[in-house]
Amino acid sequence: MGLVFAGVTVAMLATACSMEDASCGGGEYGVLAVGSSGAACVSNGEEPPEGYVRYPEGKEPETVGDKWDVYWYTHSVDKNGKIIKLAEGE
């Protein structure tokens, strides 16, 4: 019985890792709206649309709700690329 429980636990843990939603789909990368908390996904090989920039290196969200995804709800970048804290509701 203990081995069955251990096997089920391992299977559940392995599945939990794959249950996290990726910030963007395969073949895409995330971009951040300048001056707001908006974000979008862009196909690899394409430049961000006007008004969007790539996330600063090392600060890209990987999955919905991860450390950087939550951070960018309250932060953005200005037109010079400097990270700024957003006022509530921006």
> Is there a domain that residue 9 lies in?
no
Exposure string for 25-59, b = 16+ CB within 10 A, e = fewer: eeeebbbbbbeeeebeebeeeeebeeebeebeeee
Q: What is the pLDDT of residue 76?
A: 97
> Is there a domain that residue 81 lies in?
yes
> Is there a domain that residue 1 lies in?
no
> Is there a domain that residue 63 lies in?
yes
Q: Which long-range contacts (CB under 8 A, 24 or more apart) does 6-11 make?
A: none
> Is there a domain that residue 76 lies in?
yes
Domain range for 35: 22-85
pTM of the model: 0.72
Structural domain count of the chain? 1
Angle at 18 between CA 13 and CA 21, to 5 degrees: 130
Q: What is the pLDDT of residue 22?
A: 87
Per run of 10 residues, the mean pLDDT along the chain (length 90 residues) is 41 48 93 96 97 96 95 96 88
> Is there a domain that residue 12 lies in?
no
